[in-house]
């Protein structure tokens, strides 16, 4: 009788403690995508990285973090237990594949073109006859493929602006920040220009379905607290004028 009572009390304590009774270490995967995630020396930093690190610390969740090629980072979170990937777009196609925490950021999607061609687009439908370069496994790649656009993807996003300059693709789909960074870094400011801003999205931490709902609820509540106390806004301001490298 006593052992049964002790077992009942233990079970009740676990239920009351919720996620704090779990010792799970989350494995976080991401890619180099300034200013959201980037390598500074041997440390992963960036707007989303700092926000997620602070959120995990407040929630007392132990994590490891790895920088990987995007397709690998995404697929690990999709297939491996206790693994989450950031930052990624929450699309209808992905909704049931992950448990979601966020938003932890936002992005504007741009179609870039070769300045010499002087392409003009009023809306996304006018791009249907054109070949669009995308990044393999990226949400923009999914966006255009699911809508029947002509798409050619690459595993290295730097290949897209190079192909654009050689007229091997007509347009390059990228985020405003990522596109501006690559253009500036490579001295293409006068050669590659924005043609159309076509979509704005929120960015999330996406976790494998094995991660408990109690934990993801706790993390979302922690993130909401960071919004309320101004932490998220402070990080946004910190990286709002994140400097692009000189040409």
Using DSSP, state whether 135 is helix, strand or coil: strand
CB atoms within 10 A of CB 59: 18
Phi-psi region of 160 (alpha: psi -120 to 50; beta: other; left: phi over 0): alpha
Residue entry with tokens 């960071």: 226
Residue 162 parent element (H or E) = helix 159-165
> How crowded is residue 123: how many other Cβ atoms within 10 Å of its Cβ?
8
- Predicted pLDDT of residue 23: 59
pLDDT confidence band for 7 (50 / 70 / 90): very low
The predicted structure's pLDDT at residue 20:
45
Output the pLDDT for position 85: 98
206 - beta bridge partners? Answer: 85, 100
Name the CATH topology of 108-201: D-Maltodextrin-Binding Protein; domain 2 (3.40.190)
- Determine the pLDDT at residue 242: 67
- Distance between CA atoms of residues 43 and 18, nearest Å: 32
* Cβ–Cβ < 8 Å for 82, 210: yes
Residues 9-36: what's their mean pLDDT? 64
Residues in the chain: 247
- Extract the tokens encoding 61: 């969740």
- Alpha-carbon distance 161 to 42, whole Å? 28
User: What pTM was estimated for this model as a whole?
Assistant: 0.78
- The yes-or-no verdict on residue 17 having pLDDT over 80 is no
CATH code 3.40.190.10 for 24-106+202-240: yes
Burial 125-149 (b: 16+ CB within 10 A, else e): eebeebebbbbebbbbbbbbeeeeb
Per the DSSP assignment, residues forming a β-bridge with 38 are: 45
Domain 108-201 in the same topology as domain 24-106+202-240? yes
- Which tens digits make up the pLDDT trace of 190-201? 999 999 999 999
Instruction: Select from 206, 175, 156 the least CA-distant residue to 111.
Output: 175
Q: What is the DSSP letter of 156?
A: S
* Spatial separation of the C-alpha atoms in residues 57 and 222, rounded to whole Å: 10
Domain boundaries, the chain: 24-106+202-240, 108-201
The residues, any chain, with a CB within 8 Å of residue 45's CB and separated by 6 or more, are: 37, 38, 39
Q: Taking 60 as the threshold, does the pLDDT of residue 159 lie above it?
A: yes
């Amino acid at each position: 009788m006593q052992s049964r009572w002790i077992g009942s009390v233990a079970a009740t304590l676990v239920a009351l403690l919720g996620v704090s009774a779990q010792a799970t270490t989350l494995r976080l995967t991401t890619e180099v995508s300034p200013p959201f995630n980037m390598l500074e020396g041997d440390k992963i930093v960036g707007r989303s990285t700092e926000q997620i690190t602070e959120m995990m610390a407040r929630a007392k969740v132990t994590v490891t973090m790895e920088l990987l090629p995007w397709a690998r980072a995404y697929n690990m979170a999709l297939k491996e237990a206790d693994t989450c990937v950031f930052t990624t777009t929450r699309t209808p196609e992905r909704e049931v594949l992950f448990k979601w925490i966020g938003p932890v950021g936002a992005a504007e999607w741009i179609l870039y073109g070769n300045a010499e061609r002087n392409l003009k687009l009023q809306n996304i439908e006018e791009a249907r006859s054109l070949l669009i370069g995308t990044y393999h496994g990226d949400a923009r790649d999914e966006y255009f493929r699911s809508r029947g656009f002509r798409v050619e993807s690459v595993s290295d996003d730097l290949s897209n602006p190079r192909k654009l300059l050689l007229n091997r693709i007509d347009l390059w789909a990228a985020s405003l920040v990522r596109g501006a960074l690559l253009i500036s870094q490579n001295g293409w400011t006068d050669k590659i220009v924005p043609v159309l801003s076509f979509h704005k999205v929120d960015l999330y931490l996406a976790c494998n379905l094995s991660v408990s709902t109690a934990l993801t609820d706790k993390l979302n509540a922690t993130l909401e607290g960071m919004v309320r106390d101004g932490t998220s806004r402070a990080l946004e301001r910190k990286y709002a004028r994140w400097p692009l490298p000189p040409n």
